[in-house]
A and B are shown apart, each in its own frame.
Chain A
Amino acid sequence: MNISAIVAVSILVPFAGFLLNFLFGSKIPKSLVSIIGCGSILIALAMNIMLFVSALDGPATITYFNWIHAGSFSVDFSFLIDRLSVLMLLIITGVGFLIHLYSVGYMHDDDAYFRYFAYLNLFVFFMQMLVMGSNYLIAFIGWEGVGLCSYLLIGFWYKNTNYNNAAKKAFIMNRIGDLGFLIGIFWIFNQFGSINYKEVFAGAQGFIINNNYNDTVIIFITVLLFIGAIGKSAQIPLYTWLPDAMAGPTPVSALIHAATMVTAGIYVIVRSHVLYSLAPFTQDIIAIVGITTAFFAATIGLAQNDIKKVLAYSTVSQLGYMFVALGVGAYGSGMFHLMTHAFFKALLFLCAGSVIHAMGGEQDMRVMGGLRKKLPITFITMLTGTLAISGIPPFAGFFSKDEILAKAYEHNPILWVVGLITAVITAVYMFRMLFLTFYGNFRGDAHQESHLHESPSTMTIPLMVLAVLSLVGGFLGIPEVFGGKHILNDYFAPIFSDIATVPHTGTVLSHSMEFILMAVSVGLVLVAIYFASRMFIKKTAEGMDEEPKGFAKLLANKYYVDEIYDTLIVKPADWFSGFIYRFLELDFIDGMVNGIGRATNYSGKTIRKLQTGHIGFYLFAMTICIVILILINNFFIS
């Protein structure tokens, strides 16, 4: 099999799975639906492993046909297979397959089982397209497609109005970002005369050679692309859709809203790293937005009672970390954290799903507790995930997060300080979640208690696999301090070779300093975990429901951001729409339309009276008209 066939199979099989399940899913048994759904992803995974092997030898561009050709504008329908895209492909299909497998158990009782798998396959199809595209347009198709799938899956239980609203919110928020992304693409074409990655980046090399940094056009392009990334990757100010997106089924949250789709923004920026390296100004913006988001979301996560909301804010926070990495120019570290985050966050979501499954759909942590005994596998795997996200060595999160923090310190120590505080807060809220869920006494009612059970093996096996990945994933990037080999850096070396000559700001950390930073962060996190255990392990049902006060209340209400948006944007927009509706629509447009109708009616009513039905009158009129015609003809026109 040559590479173009592999790519075609890899991308088309999930689409075929979508078509089969979507069109015929209601007529075939559930087992077949699951086989189609999971099997197609498994095939894609196998293909992607082959692509991975081939990409190690060097990048390849596979052109299928010339898609758009108009004047100087030419877009090929082609895919770029290089080390960056295949890593993303492996994450998408690898984690994706595990989540598909998990869904077989999780969604088993759902009526729209086939629809769920159809959408999930469609998502994988679009996500692969986004990652594989060799130009911004193909990537944009995927970008929009995953947004669509996200919308469809958030609103999967469409009978619930709140869920539908959450889906709409996600879609609209993404739309704001998409506009930026689209304008960015237009501007790229305007500047470089092409939207192919290869030509754009070759054009950007010219700026590097001329030492032309912070060019206004490049800043605009990069900021616009970053706005797209803000929307897709849920950063301030467009992050509020992600917590609401938890309305979708939990595996969806794991796949789309934690592991893959929300990282599309990271991917696009890493893909465009040449442009971003040309615009240190934009990078600073990215770093500031990233660290702010990380800190903000983490603090909100402290006060959430919904198990999935905690994870959602944690995702926003972790995405903020990745943006910090991108902002300080550590693209490889960003990708590293993206990967480890995909593992442990998918794991955490799936564990949460397992807990919710056991609790019969209950998501409120206040009525959980003591589940450790009832769900041993879920507990162990979730503990792994929590340790990983908290940055405890040797779990994956430790390596990737500390790499980012180290790079941030090199760039600016303030970033490191805030990042460290965020890491501590992360540990607190994650262990709060863990303790509230698995320790103490059960706080739910008797019916729920009798229902508690460990999930079936289709659900626990993905958990275990992801737990192992969360444990070992970090070994791909062992820092030099430990004398290890940073495999991922070597892996990415060819990708980032084109910005090797870009001057690096900040100081290079000495090994001892790096070691001190790590020790500080791990130490503080351990202290945080200790406090969390003191505070939350013995929580009883009493005192759970009391209204939070002061700062806690502010956190529980998510800083009232939704309310602020509502007041600042939604209400004025509402008011303006109402204004337009009342004056433009009702008075003007309707008036015009109705006026035409009324005029027709009125003139008809009036002219109707001419039709007396009396032949004599008609003849009379005819005669008069003939006279007039003759008069005009003979005496006036001559």
Chain B
Amino acid sequence: MNSIITSVPINSYILLCTTLFCIGVMGVLLRRNVIIIFMSVELMLNSVNLLFTAFSAYSSNPAGQIFVFFVMVVAAAEIAIGLAIVVMIHRNTKTVDVNEWSKLKG
């Protein structure tokens, strides 16, 4: 069987996805540009998607891929709304720096 599931252990995929996820987290924490933060969030979502797919393939269960499908749906909706909000806030504050958006300060 010339397939990835025999040649690559699933732990490699888990490690890859964890790494991508942590890069995403780091991006969220590191950057102040809200667009970049959004991209990092997308990165995290994709890493999770990949993991789902990997598990789905390794266990021959299509449910994981269906789940990826739904994650994509939610992500697309989130991006559409999120970017609309960003555009709107930028229109008012002329900045995309999240640290400037501290109106909710206690």
A–B direct touch in complex (beta carbons closer than 8 A)? yes
The answer to whether B29 and A613 have CB atoms under 8 Å apart is no
The answer to whether B105 and A613 have CB atoms under 8 Å apart is yes
Name B1-54 residues within 8 Å CB distance of A.
25, 28-29, 32, 37
Name B57-106 residues within 8 Å CB distance of A.
98-99, 101-106
A611 to B29, CA, bound (A): 17
Residues of chain B contacted by A446 (CB below 8 angstroms): none
Nearest B residue (CB) for A626? B25
Q: Scoring A residues 600 to 628 as 1 if CB is less than 8 Å from chain B, else 0, what string do you get?
A: 00000001111111111001100100000
The answer to whether B103 and A613 have CB atoms under 8 Å apart is yes
Nearest A residue (CB) for B105? A613
A445 to B27, CA, bound (A): 103
Residues of chain A contacted by B37 (CB below 8 angstroms): 615
Residues of chain B contacted by A623 (CB below 8 angstroms): 25, 29
Which of A607, A608, A612, A616 is the most central at the interface, judged by chain B CB atoms within 10 Å of its CB? A616
The answer to whether A609 and B29 have CB atoms under 8 Å apart is no
Name A512-536 residues within 8 Å CB distance of B.
none
The count of residues in chain A whose C-beta lies closer than 8 Å to any C-beta of chain B is 13
Residues of chain A contacted by B99 (CB below 8 angstroms): 614-616
A615 to B98, CA, bound (A): 6
Residues of chain A contacted by B32 (CB below 8 angstroms): 616
Total number of A-B contacts with CB less than 8 angstroms? 32
The answer to whether A619 and B104 have CB atoms under 8 Å apart is no
Residues of chain B contacted by A610 (CB below 8 angstroms): 106
Tell me which of A611, A616, A619, A620 contacts B105 (CB under 8 A): A611
Residues of chain B contacted by A615 (CB below 8 angstroms): 37, 98-99, 101
Residues of chain B contacted by A607 (CB below 8 angstroms): 106
Nearest A residue (CB) for B102? A613
The answer to whether A611 and B98 have CB atoms under 8 Å apart is no
Tell me which of B101, B103, B104, B106 contacts A609 (CB under 8 A): B106
The answer to whether A616 and B29 have CB atoms under 8 Å apart is yes
Residues of chain B contacted by A614 (CB below 8 angstroms): 98-99, 102
Tell me which of A611, A616, A619, A620 contacts B106 (CB under 8 A): A611
- Shortest CB distance A633–B (Å): 16
The answer to whether B102 and A619 have CB atoms under 8 Å apart is no
- Shortest CB distance B11–A (Å): 16
Nearest B residue (CB) for A612? B105
A611 to B28, CA, bound (A): 18
The answer to whether B98 and A608 have CB atoms under 8 Å apart is no
Residues of chain A contacted by B98 (CB below 8 angstroms): 614-616
- Shortest CB distance B60–A (Å): 28
- Shortest CB distance A431–B (Å): 86
- Shortest CB distance A150–B (Å): 60
The answer to whether A608 and B106 have CB atoms under 8 Å apart is yes
- Shortest CB distance A612–B (Å): 6
A610 to B106, CA, bound (A): 8
Residues of chain B contacted by A611 (CB below 8 angstroms): 104-106
Residues of chain A contacted by B28 (CB below 8 angstroms): 619
- Shortest CB distance B44–A (Å): 11
A207 to B25, CA, bound (A): 93
A616 to B102, CA, bound (A): 10
Residues of chain A contacted by B106 (CB below 8 angstroms): 607-613
The answer to whether B25 and A613 have CB atoms under 8 Å apart is no
Residues of chain A contacted by B104 (CB below 8 angstroms): 611, 613
A531 to B95, CA, bound (A): 110
A608 to B29, CA, bound (A): 22
- Shortest CB distance A609–B (Å): 7
- Shortest CB distance A615–B (Å): 5
A545 to B98, CA, bound (A): 92
Nearest B residue (CB) for A609? B106
Nearest A residue (CB) for B25? A623
- Shortest CB distance A239–B (Å): 67
- Shortest CB distance A627–B (Å): 10
A608 to B105, CA, bound (A): 8
The answer to whether B102 and A612 have CB atoms under 8 Å apart is yes
Residues of chain A contacted by B105 (CB below 8 angstroms): 611-613
A619 to B32, CA, bound (A): 12
A615 to B31, CA, bound (A): 11
Nearest A residue (CB) for B98? A615
Residues of chain B contacted by A616 (CB below 8 angstroms): 29, 32, 98-99
Q: Which 7 interchain pairs have the tightest Cβ spacing?
A: A611-B106, A613-B102, A613-B105, A608-B106, A615-B98, A613-B104, A614-B99
Please name 24 pairs of A and B residues whose Cβ atoms are closer than 8 Å in the assembled complex, sorted by A.
A607-B106, A609-B106, A610-B106, A611-B104, A611-B105, A612-B102, A612-B105, A612-B106, A613-B101, A613-B103, A613-B105, A614-B99, A614-B102, A615-B37, A615-B98, A615-B99, A615-B101, A616-B29, A616-B32, A616-B98, A616-B99, A619-B28, A620-B29, A623-B29
Given contacts A615-B101, A616-B32, 16 further A-B contacts (CB under 8 A): A607-B106, A609-B106, A610-B106, A611-B105, A611-B106, A612-B106, A613-B102, A613-B103, A613-B105, A615-B98, A615-B99, A616-B29, A616-B99, A619-B28, A620-B29, A623-B25
